[in-house]
Amino acid sequence: MKSNGKHLHFFAIISDAVSTLWSIIVPLGFGFAWGMRHLGQIAGYALIILLVIIVFNFFKWLRFKYEFIDDQFHIRSGVLVRSDRYIRIQRIQSVQIKTNLLLRLLGVVQLKFDTADQASKGDMVLSALKLEEAERIKAEVSRGKTQKSIIFAVEDPTEAPKVVDDSPKKVYALSGKRLLAASLLTSKVGVVLAAVFGLWSQADDFIPDSIQGRSLSYLEHASLVGMVIIIGMAILMLWFVSLVSALLRWGFFKLSIHEGEWRIHRGVWETSDETYKTDRVQAIRIKEQWVQQLFGWCTVYADCSGSIDLEKSDGGSVLVFPLLRKKELPDFLETAIPRFAGPIKHHPLPVRGTLYRMILPALFWIALCCTLTWRLDWGKYTLIALPFILAYFWFKNRSEGWALMDKRLIVINRWLTKTTTITRRNHIQSFAKKQSRIQKKLNLSTCAATIRASTAESITIRQLDEQDADKLLQWFRKK
Amino acid sequence: MTNIIFWLGIGGFITSILFFDWPHFLFYIAGALAALNILQLILYVFIFPSINYRTFFYEIRQEDLLIQNGIFIITQTVIPFTRVQNVETSQGPLLRKHRLTAVSVTTAAGEHEIPALEESDALALRDQIAELIKENPANEI
């Protein structure tokens, strides 16, 4: 399997240069916008910086070589600090291929290896490759792995060698109707709102004074009805933007379930093909936003061990499927990942715990009210919100719960989104029982199970009966 | 350590009030900061360690390690030996002076520390845990 070192596609220089530039520009942010206005004066420097980046990336490209050596993949890289990295093909968990529109036009893709390292250790990325070359590497890696497994099978004669079946067991695709529903139900309006406000606060930098003056005076003279219409339009716009962004994010989402692995394809602008081994999954998270819950839908995430791109997934979890009816969920889990499947029930938490947890927000709000009443005329009216806040916390806490099902632990948590986490005993790394003095008096305690995800993640059950906490502890200790 | 930095900050603050024309009400802020700092010093040097000393214990059982610690919230953590990846002892200059050693146990999801043991105890504990890890082999997945 010996092969000589190969360079990346030539385009890597440009794509790396762009990403370096981007990483310089983003932190500078609006300082850069200022720079753009004075471009005439600083053009020389900007050009020099650009040139330095491109030259540097050229050398990086020249130095970057990869090859297969026997059962290892060898990457040589680094201009100033030279590094040689050998990865056993056995240790490569999965190969991911990614492109975006620009790259696709050139027939170039990005290839990434996932290993068991934590995400912070950095991934092995081949930033630009011809599509055929990427496919070849992928095939080589999977061949290296199957060869090894056949050797294992020979060593263990009782087990017949498995025939690797490459056809998917089942394919879940996001249909058009569902995609639309998904984008309607997932309100990322908040994020968009923040972005628009951010832009607006910077807007006076961009908009020439004449136009700005006019638009503001128009706003001041608008009647109440006009204002309502403008605000309504703005909300509609925001919603539309979030809809489009959701469409772009989830367009052509396809999950194919193979023997022991998931292949997830997604994206309109930036397509990505990802493979996840199901034995890496440490926990399944089922999220229901309140709108989704109203219509009986949910989103399924998986927490996997090893390196996961933090940007692409939500907080280190892998999006398994964006929108699923709650009644389809048992079937879906049964086909996708049988060891996490089963009935999802929960015991509610004790009422005294709920009441105890309501004390803190109540106290906080009352303190806020007092300060406001002291300082402002209308301060006392904020007290009206107190019952609503208490009611919200009551319902929020009452909907939480936990359950033990043989080897599975199910925990339901809620802030705004209801999250049901399913994990198994053999995935829990350590288990903690916490108790403050007040909790001890009330016979309550808090439990936290730590699992190994891309970052150490803990699943917390707050304010459950102390006996139940002890039961959980014993359950975890049992072999 | 952070305390020293804070004191330096407060000192700098006061000198700049005195020597540059900074408004005088800043004295109150500096005073409040100093008071908080002293409070923090008292809590973290005299009160919290003694509480923690009373609540802390560790226990080696057949298949797992139990550690209890905490000041207001008492935490009991169970770490099965099948999940332990490595044991580590470490000793800073202060610990070395008092012939103490910290033992920490690493799992795939984080580190748990037993902060200060007698040197010989720590080494014995390390060997014992290492032995127990061997007895309880990790079942992958």
CA dist B49 and B41 (Å) reads: 11
Residue A435 sits at the chain B interface (C-beta within 8 Å): yes
* A433 neighbors B75 (Cβ within 8 angstroms): yes
CB-based contacts of B8, cutoff 8 Å, min separation 6: none
Q: Which of A446, A457, A477 sits opposite B63 (nearest CB)?
A: A477
Alpha-carbon distances of B100 from A15, A16, A162, B105, rounded to whole Å = 53, 50, 54, 17
Please tell me which residue, B58 or A174, carries the higher pLDDT value: B58
Contact A429 B109 (CB under 8 A): yes
Please tell me which residue, A230 or A206, carries the higher pLDDT value: A230
Give percent of chain A with pLDDT exceeding 90.
Answer: 12
- Candidates 3.60.15.10, 3.40.50.720, 2.30.29.210, 3.40.50.11030; CATH matching B56-135: 2.30.29.210
pLDDT at A467: 92
Choose the mutation target among A339, A430, A438, A458 for the interface with B, i.e. most B CBs under 10 Å: A430
The yes-or-no verdict on residue A31 having pLDDT over 80 is no
pLDDT at A162: 44
pLDDT at B78: 92
pLDDT at A187: 56
- Mean pLDDT is highest, among A243-252, A254-263, A266-275, A391-400, for A391-400
The yes-or-no verdict on residue B124 having pLDDT over 90 is yes
> What values do phi and psi take at A318, rounded to 5?
-95, 130
The model's pLDDT over A395-412, given as tens digits with 9 standing for 90+, comes to: 998 989 999 988 899 999
Contact B76 A479 (CB under 8 A): no
List the Cα angle A453/A400/A347 in 5-degree steps. 105
CB-based contacts of A260, cutoff 8 Å, min separation 6: A277, A278, A279
User: Mean pLDDT throughout B102-117?
Assistant: 88
Kindly report the nearest CA distance between residue A479 and chain B, in angstroms: 9
Ordered by start, the domain boundaries in chain A are: 12-87+133-155, 178-250, 254-349+400-477, 351-397
Helix (H) or strand (E) holding A429: strand A428-436
Q: Which two tokens stand for residue A280?
A: 């890496």
The model's pLDDT over A44-53, given as tens digits with 9 standing for 90+, comes to: 777 888 888 8
Contact A426 B139 (CB under 8 A): yes
CA dist B65 and A211 (Å) reads: 70
User: Mean pLDDT throughout A362-375?
Assistant: 89
pTM of the model: 0.75
How many alpha carbons lie under 13 Å from residue A113 in its C-beta half-sphere?
A: 25
Q: Which of B73, B74, B83 sits opposite A430 (nearest CB)?
A: B83
User: Mean pLDDT throughout A141-148?
Assistant: 70
User: Mean pLDDT throughout A66-92?
Assistant: 81
The yes-or-no verdict on residue A159 having pLDDT over 50 is no
The yes-or-no verdict on residue A114 having pLDDT over 70 is yes
pLDDT at A81: 81
**Range A244-249 contact pairs with CB under 8 angstroms and sequence separation of 24 or more:** A244/A183, A245/A188, A245/A192, A246/A182, A246/A183, A246/A186, A246/A188, A247/A179, A247/A180, A247/A183
The model's pLDDT over A408-430, given as tens digits with 9 standing for 90+, comes to: 999 999 888 889 999 998 888 88
The yes-or-no verdict on residue A458 having pLDDT over 70 is yes
The yes-or-no verdict on residue A213 having pLDDT over 60 is no
Q: Which of A305, A450, A477 sits opposite B64 (nearest CB)?
A: A477
The yes-or-no verdict on residue A123 having pLDDT over 80 is no
User: Mean pLDDT throughout A310-320?
Assistant: 64
All residues of chain B having their beta carbon less than 8 Å from the beta carbon of residue A457 are 109
* A415 neighbors A396 (Cβ within 8 angstroms): yes
How would residue A163 be classed by pLDDT, with cut points 50, 70 and 90? Answer: very low
User: Mean pLDDT throughout A349-369?
Assistant: 90
Please choose, from the candidates A283, A278, A279, the residue with its C-alpha nearest in 3D space to the C-alpha of residue A457: A283
Task: Name the segment(s) of chain B with CATH classification 2.30.29.210.
Answer: 56-135
Contact B76 A434 (CB under 8 A): yes
pLDDT at B1: 67
Please tell me which residue, A45 or B120, carries the higher pLDDT value: B120
How would residue A68 be classed by pLDDT, with cut points 50, 70 and 90? Answer: confident
pLDDT at A152: 45
Mean pLDDT of chain A: 78
